[in-house]
Amino acid sequence: MRLLANGRVVSKTRIPAHGQVLRVELRAVGDVEEDTSPASLEEDCRDGCCGLIKRPGDLYEVLAFHLDRVLGLNRSLPAMARRFTSHLLPYSYTDGSLRPIIWWAPDLRHLEDANNDQNSCALRWLQYQEMLRPHRSTLAAGDGPCSSIPRGEWSRLALFDFLLQVHDRLDRYCCGFQPDPSEPCVEERLHEKCRNPGELVLVHILVRKSSPSRLVFIDNAGRPQHPEEKLNFRLLQGIDSFPAAAVATLRSGRLQSLLLESLRVDQELWESQGGAKGLRPLLQTIDRRARILLRYIQEHNLTVFEDSRR
């Protein structure tokens, strides 16, 4: 987090098919100058010294990282808010606007398919629902896509995505609510596919090569303004238990204060939002969603499981 917040930008590269995202190599303040050739950049990124600078509109990803920390899920990549001044960056990145920078995980596993490289494994909605069935056969489970990912990981993902209303992973088609005509899922005619569940696929299902049984949550900006009457409960479909530690935090009544305590570490974000007073409406939204989730768990007689704390 210190490297993301204060590291000096020494080189940059574009990410193919992601026009408004830059990958930058960072040096800790005081480090000596070293080779910044493309080959060196790749080597330093493999050593964990790179970050992704995203759009100002993606600042919610920083809150998502802190929510992940507070709930003890530990599946999101570190994220900080920052204003950039480096002459190496395009002007639009140095105009004083606050942007999120996300740690570049060097060993994310991507499919070799150029049309599906935002996944570690190709998984359809119906396959996903079958994986969640408590009494599926072990043989069938071991043969399927994403078979290395245990059911508890999907529970963590569903809880996290519901609180943030991240639809892109589990419901990029907006099948779980009635989208506005301006929604990308409508404009790209994805919503029409909800009539045929067999066509629906999951995206941004990623793991690290070093830990193939543990999901990595990326692109977590979610929807802070998503109306309460349109909450997407499809994100919870098939999930029959949730991590006990995360649920205990939601029940404690301390979610907002814990988030404030965590967010205070990011001084740029804290000051830009007006401190605790400015952040309060956003945290109240998360807290209301948490209470709705707890009610859902109670009404459906769902259980909790002890977290391995990995």
pTM attached to this predicted model: 0.93
Q: Which two tokens stand for residue 5?
A: 């917040």
**Number of helical (H) and strand (E) elements in the chain, helices listed first:** 11, 9
* DSSP-derived secondary structure for 113-129: -GGGTT-SS--BHHHHH
Distance (Å, whole) CA 62 – CA 267: 12
Position 221 scores a pLDDT of 87
How many other C-beta atoms are found inside a 10 Å radius of the C-beta of residue 145?
Answer: 17
Cβ-Cβ contacts under 8 Å for 136 (sequence gap 6 or more)? 130
Give the helix/strand (H/E) hosting 304: strand 303-305
Distance (Å, whole) CA 225 – CA 184: 16
Residue of 59, 63, 57, 61 lying closest to 255 (CA atoms): 63
| Low-confidence residues of the chain: pLDDT under 50 | 138-140, 310
Determine phi and psi for 12, rounding to 5 degrees.
-145, 160
Please report which residue ranges of the chain form alpha helices under DSSP H. 2-6, 38-46, 60-71, 125-132, 138-143, 151-164, 184-187, 244-251, 255-263, 267-272, 275-299
Distance (Å, whole) CA 274 – CA 109: 38
Kindly state the DSSP code that residue 31 receives in the 8-state scheme: P
Provide the 3-class DSSP secondary structure of residue 87: coil
Kindly state the DSSP code that residue 199 receives in the 8-state scheme: G
Position 40 scores a pLDDT of 65
Contact 283, 260 (CB under 8 A): yes
Residue of 65, 50, 8 lying closest to 32 (CA atoms): 8
Position 178 scores a pLDDT of 95
Position 34 scores a pLDDT of 60
Contact 47, 33 (CB under 8 A): no
| Pairing, β 18-27 against β 50-53 | antiparallel
Q: Which two tokens stand for residue 139?
A: 């043989």
